[in-house]
Chains A and B, each alone.
Chain A
Amino acid sequence: MKVTVDTERCIGSGMCVYSSEEVFDQDDDGTSIVLRPEPPAELWDAVRRAVDRCPASAIKATP
């Protein structure tokens, strides 16, 4: 799985960090940062949750 965030769309809600702190973090401006662009399989559920919850549809996870 490959994870990317469109930082232009991101509104800094923190939902992705809340879903998985292993995969996401926020910078000083609150914008999402992908810590693990190719997360291991055990984190895929959490990533899918982040994709579903992101209020700005800013996260993409491609298989």
Chain B
Amino acid sequence: MSESVHTLAAMPTERRPGCPFDPPKELIEAREQSPLSRFTFADGHQGWVITGFDLIRQVMADPRFSSRKEFMSHHPTIDYSGYEVPPAPPGEFLLMDDPQHSRYRKPLVGKFTVRRMRLLTERIEQVTAEHLDAMEKAGPSTDLVTAFAKPIPAIVICELLGVPYEDRGRFQENIDKFLGGETSDEELIAAYTATQEYLAELVAAKRASPTDDVLSDLTDSDLTDEELRGMALILLAAGFDTTANMIGLGTFALLQNPEQLAALRSEPELADRAIEELLRYLSVAKTFMRSALEDVEVGGQTIKAGTMVILSMNTANRDPERFPNPHVLDLDRQDGGHLAFGHGIHQCLGQQLARVELRVALPALFRRFPTLRLAVPAEEVAVRPEMADIYGVKSLPVTWDA
């Protein structure tokens, strides 16, 4: 059965020069060969990489594939031999299976519904306008990441959770370190410890004097302080980095596709579809992993119990069987669906918030600065390394006619 299975020799470490939005060519070629490929992890573990849209959906929807942290004991590029991966700390439900996972997710879903997130539109518009005002006042040129892409989602998630925005200096940099893919182990441990200390104080403060926010609401339950800390960490990390990278990279992609940007400008009603297409095309949350709890048939192959699979979400979001002309950014693309927020029980809890943020921020930016353009040649825009869990631009120097 396994004679002619495609093998991916190594996880690529770079994208093609001049193609900062496309998955590395090795992954695109792997998908052309087969929706799943054999892959040997750094410690010699024989696992799989999935690049096909349908197969990733199948795996993410199947409870026989686990997200539990302690089962992620092999890494694609780092040899973990002799190191036992501990289970996820209480509350960090991204890396748990049901029923533990739903203990934490359940009390949160009602706070992130489509309706509730749309109620935030006005506030997000206000925050966006304030940042555009500040950019305009300071004049050209600026780094769009620090002036715009990062602060807007950060302020919104802080307000929603009830984290004083002034406190962000105590954890934002540390959270950046978890996700930026360029941090040494010692730095990571220090960043994690400092963040835990901050969150412990925060949870204690919410218990002592609850305010009108998600974290305070959660103190009125049987969740322990330790669990609340874990939940807050997941929410802050997810809320800080992902949307910020979508705004930064999305701006870059629109500036590189001027005819698409022009269409978005002339037809504001395109915006909802345009945001879905940018989510698909950019897939900033690009790689996830699962571990098989039993033998499972996937795409005609048996994935053996205890075997790990790498899910290449950004490659699957370019699957030609699902999307015609997959490598083209087509803001008017109809009905594609996409995996940018995942699938199955872990599908992004904050997706409706992210949609509102993107829907407000990107069109407002281009309305305010019709002449917005890169201030450096496109090749000089620094992107995150492929190792990073979340892809994006490190900075985006832009300018405009004042």
Contact surface of A with B, Cβ cutoff 8 Å:
11-15, 17-18, 21, 25-31, 49, 52-53, 55-57
Contacts and interface: CB of A to CB of B under 8 A. Distances in A.
A51 B351 CA distance: 18
Interface in B97-122: 105-106, 109-115
Interface string B332-344: 0001010001111
Given A49-B337, A57-B61, A11 B345 contact: yes
Given A14-B352, A52-B337, A26 B347 contact: no
B345 A29 contact: no
A36 B397 CA distance: 49
B337 A55 contact: no
A38 to B, nearest CB: 22
Contacts of B341: 13
Contact of A14 (B60, B61, B114, B342): B114
Contacts of A53: 337
Contact of A30 (B110, B337, B348): B110
Contacts of A11: 105, 109, 345, 347
A29 B109 contact: yes
Contacts of B106: 29
Given A29-B106, A49-B337, A55 B345 contact: yes
A29 B337 contact: no
A49 B335 contact: yes
Nearest to A16: B114
A56 to B, nearest CB: 7
B113 A14 contact: yes
A13 B347 contact: yes
Given A49-B335, A55-B61, A55-B343, A13 B351 contact: yes
Contacts of A49: 335, 337
Contacts of A14: 112-114, 351-352
A11 B352 CA distance: 14
A24 to B, nearest CB: 9
A31 B337 CA distance: 21
A45 to B, nearest CB: 8
A14 to B, nearest CB: 4
A17 to B, nearest CB: 4
Contacts of B355: 18
A27 B111 CA distance: 10
A21 B341 CA distance: 20
Contacts of A12: 105, 109-110, 112-113
Interface string B317-350: 0000000000000000001010001111101100
Nearest to B272: A18
Nearest to A9: B345
A12 B108 CA distance: 9
For A12, A15, A25, A55, which residue has the most chain B Cβ atoms within 10 angstroms? A55
Contact of A55 (B109, B112, B113, B347): B347
B345 A56 contact: yes
A17 B113 contact: yes
A18 B355 CA distance: 10
Contact of A26 (B60, B114, B342): B114
A25 B352 CA distance: 13
28 contacts: A11-B105, A11-B345, A12-B109, A13-B341, A13-B347, A13-B348, A14-B351, A15-B347, A17-B114, A18-B352, A18-B355, A21-B114, A26-B110, A26-B114, A30-B110, A30-B112, A30-B113, A31-B109, A49-B335, A49-B337, A53-B337, A55-B60, A55-B61, A55-B343, A55-B347, A56-B345, A56-B347, A57-B61
